[in-house]
Every structure is written in C-alpha cells, then in structure tokens.
Amino acid sequence: MYDFKGKVALITGAARKRGIGHATAIRLARCGADVAVNGRYRPPHELPEEEKAEGWRGLDSVVEEIESCGTRGLAITTDITDRKQVEEMVAQVIDRFGHIDILVANAGVYMPQPFLETEEEQWHRHIATNLTGVFYCGQAVARHMVERKGGVIVNVASISGKVGRPNVSAYAASKFGVVGLTQVMALELAPYNIRVNAICPGRFLTDMSDYARAASMADERGISVTEAAHIIHADAVQFTPLGRLGHPEDAASLIAFLCSDEASFITGQSINVDGGRLTAH
C-alpha cells in the first residue's frame, strides 16, 4: 500500500462503475489521497443494465466510495474536449483542495468501425476526446505543477497505441498520439520534477470496451449483445498468454505505482498492462 496522504488527485473519465477511472479513484483514496473525479453526464438509457440494477449514480456514487475511505472527494461534470471547461475544472479542484499532485487522464471513447466506413464525426470524436482532451487536461494541470515544482501525470493510452489492428483506425490514431504526447510531456516537464507516463491496457472487462465491441458484433451477426460479449471474451482470452481479461483494478495498481515514490526514476514510459498479449502479437 502506497502513502498518498496529503496528496490530491484528479481523475478524468471516472463515472462508470466498471471502469479504470473508478477503480483508480478508489485505489488512490485507500492510500490516503483526496480525489476529484470527472465524467460526463449519461442519460439513463446509456447506463449498462448492471449499473441500473445496482442504483449506480455515476460520479456521486464514486465520491461516496472515496469518502468512505476516510478522504475527501469531489465530483465535477466536465466536457474535456472544451478547453475552457477543463481550465474551470482544474481551478475548481485547486480552490477546493489547494493544489493538485496527481493527474490521471483516463477519459476516452471507443467506437470500432472498418476504416472505409469510418465517418468524419467518429474520427473527430476519437481525436477530440482521446487525444485533445488529454492535451487540454495535461497542459492545464502541468502549469499548476510547474509552479509547485513537482507532480505526476499518468495518461491512459492502449496497446492499440503501439500496434495497429483492423477496425480501430480512429481509436488507434488517437492512442498512438497519446503515447507520443506522453514522451514529449515527460521531456519538457522533467526539469520541474514532473513525471509523465502512460499505461497501455489490453483487453479489459470494462463497460466502455465490452459494450462497444459487443454492440458492433451483435449488429453484424444478428445476435444479442450478451451472446456477442461471450464470443468476444472467449476470443480475447485465447490470445492473452495469462489466460484472462484484465480487470480495472489491474490498471489501477499500475497507475498507483507510477504515482508513488517507488517510481520516482520512471518517466516518459508507456507501459503495457495486457496479460502478455502484445508480446505474443
């Protein structure tokens, strides 16, 4: 268990129950950090059945869990593709907690589509959320960290940001961009004692990736989303040497390590957390 007492973390994309952002928020809170969480409003019809059945309330539920760990939480609904909203979000966190020590830029979208069928709107949405949003959040928080002469930033990329594969042209382009952006940020911010790394998840059991893939396959094959999800999971496990899909907590553990003093000599890296899948590629 790492010691983040006195630290303040801002985590984007944390509203989903089965998501890396949520798992990371709770992991850091359990280590003593005060945590501000960001997400977008999702109307009821967009909520997974599991969340509906459990009475999940998005960011409000996350904050309740954070505070149950004995630390302070703050929920902020922000569109990270809007620079002004991002700057206001950062100012709100600083006003509430006094400073920001950790940024986890996790918010993202995933809409698989064959290259020749990818529409302009899908392309722009991927780039705006997955890449430009990381840039906006990173720049706004880094300016504050420069003044404080220290901090940690972790960007959530993907193994699709290292190796291309079919049907994810927009997603892969955005994640390749995050890997490159992470390296540049690390080099330019190192003189201010700010470390910047990325994690590259493989196939994970998360609401975003599961639903998007399953919905696409269900539409193509004329089967239910549940049936499609079972097929996808079986295929993914087959190509993962460790024989299972990742859980959000697996990513949260790596993020917690990178944010800790144990990783004080690590910066500019994009670390796979994929059960060996990319190695076996």
Annotated catalytic residues are: 171, 175
What is the number of residues in the chain?
A: 281
The conformation of residue 75, written as its DSSP 8-state character, comes to E
Nearest-angstrom CA–CA distance, 38 and 42: 12
**For tokens 């144990």, what's the residue?**
262
Angle between helix 20-30 and 59-68 (nearest 10) = 20
CA distance 24 to 133: 19
What are the backbone angles phi and psi of residue 204, rounded to the nearest 5°?
-125, 155
Q: In the chain, which residue ranges form alpha helices assigned H by DSSP?
A: 20-30, 49-53, 59-68, 83-97, 120-126, 133-148, 169-189, 207-221, 225-238, 248-259
